[in-house]
Amino acid sequence: MGEEAIVTLDDIRQAQQRLRGVAARTPLVANEEDGRRLWFKPESFQPIGSFKLRGAYNKIASLSEGERRSGVITYSSGNHAQGVAYSARALGVKAVVVMPRKAPVNKIEATKALGAEIVPVGPTSGERQAKAEELAAEHGYVIIPPFNDEKIIAGQGTIGLEIVEDLPDVELVLVPVGGGGLISGVATAVKLLRPQAKIIGVEPELAADAQASLRAGKIVSWPGEQVGRTLADGLRTQSVGEINFEHIRRHVDDIITVSEDEIREAMRRLALGARLVAEPSGAVTSAAFLFHACEFPRTEKTVAIISGGSVEPQLLASVLDGGWLEATVNGD
Protein backbone atom coordinates (compact mmCIF):
# COMPACT_ATOMS: atom_id res chain seq x y z
CA MET A 1 0.00 0.00 0.00
CA GLY A 2 1.49 3.29 -1.07
CA GLU A 3 2.07 6.32 1.08
CA GLU A 4 -0.50 8.26 -0.98
CA ALA A 5 -3.29 6.11 0.50
CA ILE A 6 -2.65 7.24 4.07
CA VAL A 7 -5.10 9.82 5.39
CA THR A 8 -3.52 12.79 7.18
CA LEU A 9 -4.70 14.99 10.01
CA ASP A 10 -5.12 17.79 7.46
CA ASP A 11 -7.44 15.56 5.37
CA ILE A 12 -9.60 14.95 8.45
CA ARG A 13 -9.67 18.65 9.37
CA GLN A 14 -10.75 19.52 5.83
CA ALA A 15 -13.55 16.97 6.19
CA GLN A 16 -14.56 18.61 9.47
CA GLN A 17 -14.91 21.93 7.66
CA ARG A 18 -17.09 20.36 4.93
CA LEU A 19 -19.32 18.69 7.52
CA ARG A 20 -20.05 21.84 9.53
CA GLY A 21 -23.81 22.39 9.54
CA VAL A 22 -24.42 18.98 7.93
CA ALA A 23 -23.37 16.30 10.43
CA ALA A 24 -24.19 16.69 14.10
CA ARG A 25 -21.28 17.27 16.46
CA THR A 26 -22.27 14.44 18.77
CA PRO A 27 -21.56 14.81 22.49
CA LEU A 28 -19.68 12.57 24.87
CA VAL A 29 -22.20 11.10 27.30
CA ALA A 30 -20.69 10.18 30.69
CA ASN A 31 -21.75 6.90 32.23
CA GLU A 32 -20.62 4.49 34.94
CA GLU A 33 -20.56 0.70 34.69
CA ASP A 34 -19.45 -1.47 37.62
CA GLY A 35 -17.67 1.50 39.17
CA ARG A 36 -15.77 2.25 35.95
CA ARG A 37 -16.17 5.54 34.08
CA LEU A 38 -17.13 5.36 30.42
CA TRP A 39 -18.08 8.01 27.89
CA PHE A 40 -20.39 7.10 25.00
CA LYS A 41 -20.05 8.83 21.62
CA PRO A 42 -23.61 8.37 20.27
CA GLU A 43 -23.48 8.65 16.49
CA SER A 44 -27.08 7.50 16.68
CA PHE A 45 -27.79 11.25 17.12
CA GLN A 46 -26.90 11.94 13.47
CA PRO A 47 -29.75 12.98 11.13
CA ILE A 48 -29.70 9.50 9.54
CA GLY A 49 -29.09 7.69 12.85
CA SER A 50 -25.48 6.65 12.19
CA PHE A 51 -21.93 7.89 11.61
CA LYS A 52 -22.08 7.00 7.91
CA LEU A 53 -23.28 10.50 7.01
CA ARG A 54 -19.81 11.89 7.75
CA GLY A 55 -17.88 9.84 5.22
CA ALA A 56 -20.57 9.85 2.54
CA TYR A 57 -21.01 13.62 2.60
CA ASN A 58 -17.27 14.27 2.63
CA LYS A 59 -16.84 12.03 -0.42
CA ILE A 60 -19.72 13.46 -2.48
CA ALA A 61 -18.92 17.07 -1.51
CA SER A 62 -15.36 16.46 -2.79
CA LEU A 63 -16.55 15.46 -6.29
CA SER A 64 -16.21 17.80 -9.26
CA GLU A 65 -19.29 19.42 -10.79
CA GLY A 66 -19.05 17.02 -13.72
CA GLU A 67 -18.91 13.99 -11.45
CA ARG A 68 -21.91 15.24 -9.48
CA ARG A 69 -23.91 15.64 -12.70
CA SER A 70 -23.19 11.99 -13.52
CA GLY A 71 -24.87 10.82 -10.30
CA VAL A 72 -23.52 8.48 -7.65
CA ILE A 73 -24.01 4.82 -6.79
CA THR A 74 -23.19 2.81 -3.71
CA TYR A 75 -23.71 -0.66 -2.21
CA SER A 76 -24.84 -1.07 1.38
CA SER A 77 -27.16 -2.89 3.75
CA GLY A 78 -28.51 0.33 5.18
CA ASN A 79 -26.53 2.94 7.10
CA HIS A 80 -24.10 3.88 4.32
CA ALA A 81 -27.06 3.74 1.92
CA GLN A 82 -28.82 6.38 3.99
CA GLY A 83 -25.64 8.43 4.31
CA VAL A 84 -25.23 8.54 0.54
CA ALA A 85 -28.91 9.23 -0.08
CA TYR A 86 -29.01 12.05 2.49
CA SER A 87 -25.80 13.62 1.23
CA ALA A 88 -26.77 13.34 -2.44
CA ARG A 89 -30.13 14.98 -1.77
CA ALA A 90 -28.44 17.81 0.15
CA LEU A 91 -26.01 18.39 -2.74
CA GLY A 92 -28.56 17.96 -5.55
CA VAL A 93 -27.03 14.73 -6.88
CA LYS A 94 -28.84 11.64 -8.19
CA ALA A 95 -28.23 8.58 -5.98
CA VAL A 96 -28.62 4.87 -6.75
CA VAL A 97 -28.16 2.32 -3.96
CA VAL A 98 -27.64 -1.42 -4.35
CA MET A 99 -29.05 -3.13 -1.25
CA PRO A 100 -29.65 -6.75 -0.20
CA ARG A 101 -33.30 -7.74 -0.52
CA LYS A 102 -33.30 -8.84 3.11
CA ALA A 103 -31.76 -5.68 4.54
CA PRO A 104 -33.63 -4.34 7.59
CA VAL A 105 -36.95 -2.98 6.36
CA ASN A 106 -36.54 0.25 8.31
CA LYS A 107 -33.23 0.92 6.54
CA ILE A 108 -34.65 0.21 3.06
CA GLU A 109 -37.64 2.48 3.66
CA ALA A 110 -35.48 5.26 5.13
CA THR A 111 -33.17 5.16 2.10
CA LYS A 112 -36.15 5.35 -0.29
CA ALA A 113 -37.60 8.25 1.70
CA LEU A 114 -34.38 10.19 1.14
CA GLY A 115 -34.93 9.98 -2.62
CA ALA A 116 -32.49 7.25 -3.64
CA GLU A 117 -33.25 4.68 -6.31
CA ILE A 118 -32.99 1.18 -4.77
CA VAL A 119 -31.60 -1.81 -6.70
CA PRO A 120 -32.19 -5.07 -4.74
CA VAL A 121 -29.71 -7.98 -4.95
CA GLY A 122 -28.74 -11.10 -2.99
CA PRO A 123 -27.30 -11.25 0.51
CA THR A 124 -23.52 -11.05 0.08
CA SER A 125 -21.37 -7.92 0.00
CA GLY A 126 -19.69 -9.26 -3.15
CA GLU A 127 -23.01 -9.30 -5.01
CA ARG A 128 -23.75 -5.74 -3.99
CA GLN A 129 -20.38 -4.43 -5.10
CA ALA A 130 -20.46 -6.32 -8.43
CA LYS A 131 -23.91 -4.92 -9.30
CA ALA A 132 -22.86 -1.37 -8.37
CA GLU A 133 -19.74 -1.62 -10.55
CA GLU A 134 -21.82 -2.97 -13.45
CA LEU A 135 -24.33 -0.11 -13.23
CA ALA A 136 -21.57 2.47 -12.81
CA ALA A 137 -19.91 1.26 -16.01
CA GLU A 138 -23.24 1.28 -17.85
CA HIS A 139 -24.51 4.71 -16.73
CA GLY A 140 -21.39 6.63 -15.76
CA TYR A 141 -22.25 6.87 -12.06
CA VAL A 142 -19.48 7.68 -9.58
CA ILE A 143 -19.06 4.88 -7.02
CA ILE A 144 -19.17 5.95 -3.37
CA PRO A 145 -17.54 3.00 -1.54
CA PRO A 146 -18.78 2.12 1.96
CA PHE A 147 -15.30 2.14 3.54
CA ASN A 148 -12.33 1.55 1.22
CA ASP A 149 -11.73 5.18 0.25
CA GLU A 150 -9.59 8.01 1.65
CA LYS A 151 -12.39 10.61 1.61
CA ILE A 152 -14.71 8.19 3.43
CA ILE A 153 -12.00 7.50 6.01
CA ALA A 154 -11.33 11.20 6.51
CA GLY A 155 -15.03 11.89 7.05
CA GLN A 156 -15.32 9.17 9.68
CA GLY A 157 -12.10 10.47 11.25
CA THR A 158 -13.90 13.65 12.31
CA ILE A 159 -15.34 11.55 15.15
CA GLY A 160 -11.79 11.10 16.45
CA LEU A 161 -11.13 14.85 16.27
CA GLU A 162 -14.25 15.52 18.34
CA ILE A 163 -13.30 12.90 20.94
CA VAL A 164 -9.88 14.45 21.54
CA GLU A 165 -11.32 17.99 21.53
CA ASP A 166 -13.89 17.04 24.18
CA LEU A 167 -11.71 14.66 26.24
CA PRO A 168 -8.08 15.73 25.58
CA ASP A 169 -6.61 13.14 27.95
CA VAL A 170 -8.63 10.21 26.57
CA GLU A 171 -6.81 6.93 27.23
CA LEU A 172 -8.79 4.33 25.30
CA VAL A 173 -11.27 4.44 22.41
CA LEU A 174 -13.43 1.40 21.56
CA VAL A 175 -14.57 1.35 17.92
CA PRO A 176 -16.90 -1.03 16.02
CA VAL A 177 -15.26 -2.73 13.02
CA GLY A 178 -17.03 -3.78 9.84
CA GLY A 179 -15.25 -2.86 6.62
CA GLY A 180 -12.84 -0.68 8.57
CA GLY A 181 -13.81 2.84 7.49
CA LEU A 182 -14.80 4.03 10.95
CA ILE A 183 -11.83 2.61 12.84
CA SER A 184 -9.41 3.78 10.12
CA GLY A 185 -10.50 7.38 10.48
CA VAL A 186 -10.94 7.44 14.24
CA ALA A 187 -7.63 5.69 14.91
CA THR A 188 -5.76 8.03 12.57
CA ALA A 189 -7.20 11.18 14.16
CA VAL A 190 -6.75 10.04 17.76
CA LYS A 191 -3.26 8.57 17.33
CA LEU A 192 -1.93 11.64 15.48
CA LEU A 193 -3.29 13.96 18.17
CA ARG A 194 -2.67 11.74 21.21
CA PRO A 195 -0.22 8.92 20.39
CA GLN A 196 -0.38 7.41 23.89
CA ALA A 197 -4.11 6.68 23.62
CA LYS A 198 -5.08 3.09 22.80
CA ILE A 199 -7.46 2.19 19.96
CA ILE A 200 -9.27 -1.14 20.26
CA GLY A 201 -11.58 -2.41 17.54
CA VAL A 202 -14.60 -4.55 18.41
CA GLU A 203 -16.46 -6.95 16.15
CA PRO A 204 -18.81 -9.94 16.55
CA GLU A 205 -17.29 -13.39 17.07
CA LEU A 206 -19.35 -14.53 14.08
CA ALA A 207 -17.77 -11.91 11.80
CA ALA A 208 -14.23 -11.62 13.17
CA ASP A 209 -12.42 -11.21 9.86
CA ALA A 210 -10.74 -7.96 10.94
CA GLN A 211 -9.27 -9.59 14.04
CA ALA A 212 -8.08 -12.51 11.90
CA SER A 213 -6.52 -10.04 9.44
CA LEU A 214 -4.68 -8.09 12.14
CA ARG A 215 -3.36 -11.32 13.67
CA ALA A 216 -2.25 -12.68 10.29
CA GLY A 217 -0.70 -9.44 9.06
CA LYS A 218 -2.72 -9.66 5.84
CA ILE A 219 -6.36 -9.33 4.84
CA VAL A 220 -8.38 -12.43 5.66
CA SER A 221 -11.81 -12.89 4.07
CA TRP A 222 -14.71 -14.76 5.70
CA PRO A 223 -17.60 -16.44 3.81
CA GLY A 224 -20.83 -14.46 3.44
CA GLU A 225 -22.89 -17.27 4.98
CA GLN A 226 -20.67 -17.13 8.07
CA VAL A 227 -20.71 -13.37 8.72
CA GLY A 228 -24.42 -13.27 7.84
CA ARG A 229 -25.19 -15.11 11.09
CA THR A 230 -24.46 -12.15 13.37
CA LEU A 231 -27.26 -9.92 14.57
CA ALA A 232 -24.97 -6.94 13.88
CA ASP A 233 -26.07 -6.40 10.28
CA GLY A 234 -23.80 -3.37 9.84
CA LEU A 235 -20.70 -5.47 10.63
CA ARG A 236 -21.32 -8.32 8.20
CA THR A 237 -18.54 -7.38 5.80
CA GLN A 238 -16.54 -10.35 4.57
CA SER A 239 -13.21 -8.51 4.76
CA VAL A 240 -11.77 -5.08 5.55
CA GLY A 241 -10.73 -2.83 2.67
CA GLU A 242 -7.11 -2.60 1.54
CA ILE A 243 -6.78 1.10 2.36
CA ASN A 244 -8.52 0.50 5.69
CA PHE A 245 -6.20 -2.36 6.58
CA GLU A 246 -3.14 -0.18 6.06
CA HIS A 247 -4.55 2.35 8.55
CA ILE A 248 -5.51 -0.43 10.98
CA ARG A 249 -2.00 -1.88 10.87
CA ARG A 250 -0.47 1.51 11.60
CA HIS A 251 -2.79 2.87 14.25
CA VAL A 252 -4.93 0.15 15.89
CA ASP A 253 -3.61 -1.57 19.02
CA ASP A 254 -5.89 -4.62 18.99
CA ILE A 255 -9.25 -6.00 17.84
CA ILE A 256 -11.41 -8.04 20.22
CA THR A 257 -14.66 -9.92 19.68
CA VAL A 258 -18.00 -10.17 21.48
CA SER A 259 -20.73 -12.81 21.43
CA GLU A 260 -24.32 -12.43 20.21
CA ASP A 261 -25.66 -12.69 23.77
CA GLU A 262 -23.25 -9.98 24.90
CA ILE A 263 -24.40 -7.68 22.09
CA ARG A 264 -28.05 -8.14 23.07
CA GLU A 265 -27.32 -7.51 26.74
CA ALA A 266 -25.33 -4.39 25.88
CA MET A 267 -28.25 -3.08 23.78
CA ARG A 268 -30.59 -3.70 26.71
CA ARG A 269 -28.36 -1.94 29.23
CA LEU A 270 -27.78 1.01 26.90
CA ALA A 271 -31.52 1.49 26.45
CA LEU A 272 -32.55 0.99 30.08
CA GLY A 273 -29.49 2.42 31.84
CA ALA A 274 -27.96 5.08 29.62
CA ARG A 275 -31.25 5.84 27.77
CA LEU A 276 -29.46 5.34 24.45
CA VAL A 277 -30.92 3.24 21.64
CA ALA A 278 -28.19 1.34 19.79
CA GLU A 279 -28.47 -1.04 16.89
CA PRO A 280 -26.51 -4.29 17.36
CA SER A 281 -23.53 -2.95 15.41
CA GLY A 282 -23.43 0.12 17.62
CA ALA A 283 -23.64 -1.85 20.87
CA VAL A 284 -20.54 -4.01 20.33
CA THR A 285 -18.24 -1.47 22.03
CA SER A 286 -20.42 -1.37 25.14
CA ALA A 287 -20.44 -5.19 25.12
CA ALA A 288 -16.65 -5.17 25.05
CA PHE A 289 -16.46 -2.78 28.01
CA LEU A 290 -18.98 -4.81 30.00
CA PHE A 291 -17.73 -8.32 29.32
CA HIS A 292 -14.14 -8.14 28.03
CA ALA A 293 -12.41 -5.55 30.20
CA CYS A 294 -9.65 -8.07 30.94
CA GLU A 295 -8.62 -7.93 27.28
CA PHE A 296 -7.60 -4.26 27.23
CA PRO A 297 -5.77 -1.86 29.57
CA ARG A 298 -7.66 -0.67 32.64
CA THR A 299 -8.12 3.04 32.07
CA GLU A 300 -9.85 5.96 33.74
CA LYS A 301 -10.98 7.69 30.54
CA THR A 302 -12.52 5.35 27.99
CA VAL A 303 -14.78 6.29 25.07
CA ALA A 304 -17.10 3.77 23.39
CA ILE A 305 -18.41 4.81 19.98
CA ILE A 306 -22.07 3.90 19.41
CA SER A 307 -21.98 3.84 15.64
CA GLY A 308 -25.73 3.86 15.01
CA GLY A 309 -29.22 3.52 16.41
CA SER A 310 -31.26 2.29 13.43
CA VAL A 311 -32.76 -0.77 15.07
CA GLU A 312 -35.98 -2.44 13.93
CA PRO A 313 -38.74 -1.95 16.54
CA GLN A 314 -39.49 -5.66 16.92
CA LEU A 315 -35.83 -6.45 17.50
CA LEU A 316 -35.56 -3.71 20.11
CA ALA A 317 -38.70 -5.00 21.84
CA SER A 318 -37.25 -8.53 21.88
CA VAL A 319 -33.95 -7.31 23.33
CA LEU A 320 -35.68 -5.26 26.03
CA ASP A 321 -37.75 -8.32 26.97
CA GLY A 322 -34.57 -10.36 27.23
CA GLY A 323 -35.75 -12.54 24.37
CA TRP A 324 -34.19 -13.58 21.09
CA LEU A 325 -35.28 -12.61 17.61
CA GLU A 326 -33.65 -14.71 14.92
CA ALA A 327 -31.83 -12.39 12.54
CA THR A 328 -32.92 -12.88 8.97
CA VAL A 329 -31.41 -9.78 7.43
CA ASN A 330 -28.07 -9.38 5.72
CA GLY A 331 -25.87 -6.34 5.78
CA ASP A 332 -22.53 -4.63 5.29
Per-residue pLDDT reduced to its tens digit, 80-138: 999 999 999 999 999 999 998 888 888 899 999 999 999 999 887 788 899 999 999 99
Q: How confident is the model at residue 77 (pLDDT cuts 50, 70, 90)?
A: confident
| Residue 325 maps to a domain | no
Active site residue 41: no
**Domain containing residue 196: CATH number:** 3.40.50.1100
Alpha-carbon gap, residue 12 to 77, rounded angstroms: 25
pLDDT at 148 over 50: yes
Final residue of a structural domain among 143, 174, 203? 143
Q: What pLDDT does residue 16 have?
A: 98
Q: What pLDDT does residue 271 have?
A: 96
| Residue 291 maps to a domain | yes
Residues 6+ apart with CB under 8 A from 257: 202, 203, 204, 205, 208, 211
Q: Identify the weakest region by mean pLDDT among 65-69, 219-223, 292-296, 327-331.
A: 327-331
Alpha-carbon gap, residue 186 to 153, rounded angstroms: 8
Q: What pLDDT does residue 1 have?
A: 39
Nearest CA-CA partner of 16 in 48, 57, 52, 60: 57
Q: What pLDDT does residue 2 have?
A: 43
Q: What pLDDT does residue 35 have?
A: 78
Do 168 and 284 share a domain, yes or no?
Answer: yes
State the catalytic residue, choosing from 52, 102, 131, 151.
52
Count of all residues that appear for the chain in the document: 332
Q: What pLDDT does residue 82 have?
A: 95
pLDDT digits (tens, 9 = 90+) for 40-70: 999 999 999 999 999 999 999 999 999 999 9
Mean pLDDT of the chain: 93
| Residue 214 maps to a domain | yes
| Residue 68 maps to a domain | yes
Final residue of a structural domain among 127, 143, 159? 143
Number of domains the chain is built from: 2
Do 237 and 305 share a domain, yes or no?
Answer: yes
| Residue 138 maps to a domain | yes
* Residues 157/189, Cβ–Cβ less than 8 Å: yes
Can you give 212-259 as a three-state secondary structure string?
Answer: HHHHHCCCCCCCHHHHCCCCCHHHCCCCCCHHHHHHHHHHCCEEEEEC
Can you give the chain as a three-state secondary structure string?
Answer: CCHHHCCCHHHHHHHHHHHCCCCCCCCCEEEEECCEEEEEEEHHHCCCCECHHHHHHHHHHCCCHHHHHHCEEEECCCHHHHHHHHHHHHHCCCEEEEEECCCCHHHHHHHHHCCCEEEEECCCHHHHHHHHHHHHHHHCCEECCCCCCHHHHHHHHHHHHHHHHHCCCCCEEEEECCCCHHHHHHHHHHHHHCCCCEEEEEEEHHHCHHHHHHHHCCCCCCCHHHHCCCCCHHHCCCCCCHHHHHHHHHHCCEEEEECHHHHHHHHHHHHHHHCCCCCHHHHHHHHHHHHCHHHCCCCCCEEEEECECCCCHHHHHHHHCCCCCCCCCCCC
pLDDT at 9 over 70: yes
For residue 100, give its domain range. 53-143
pLDDT at 327 over 80: no
- For the chain, the straight-line distance linking the first and the last C-alpha, in angstroms and rounded, comes to 24
Active site residue 52: yes
Do 160 and 262 share a domain, yes or no?
Answer: yes
Do 287 and 192 share a domain, yes or no?
Answer: yes
| Residue 121 maps to a domain | yes
Q: Identify the weakest region by mean pLDDT among 22-31, 75-84, 151-160, 202-211.
A: 75-84
Q: 201: number of CA atoms within 13 Å, CB side?
A: 36
Q: What pLDDT does residue 25 have?
A: 98
Do 114 and 181 share a domain, yes or no?
Answer: no
Specify which residues 61 forms β-bridges with: none
Q: Identify the weakest region by mean pLDDT among 112-121, 251-260, 266-275, 322-331.
A: 322-331
Q: How confident is the model at residue 329 (pLDDT cuts 50, 70, 90)?
A: very low
State the catalytic residue, choosing from 77, 125, 213, 307.
307
Q: 313: number of CA atoms within 13 Å, CB side?
A: 1
| Residue 332 maps to a domain | no
Do 129 and 84 share a domain, yes or no?
Answer: yes
pLDDT digits (tens, 9 = 90+) for 162-217: 999 999 999 999 999 999 999 999 999 999 999 999 999 999 999 999 999 999 99
Q: How confident is the model at residue 33 (pLDDT cuts 50, 70, 90)?
A: confident
How buried is residue 5: exposed, middle or buried, by Cβ count under 10 Å (0-12/13-18/19+)?
middle
Final residue of a structural domain among 143, 176, 199? 143
Q: List strands edge to edge, sheet with 142-143.
A: 117-121, 95-100, 72-75, 142-143
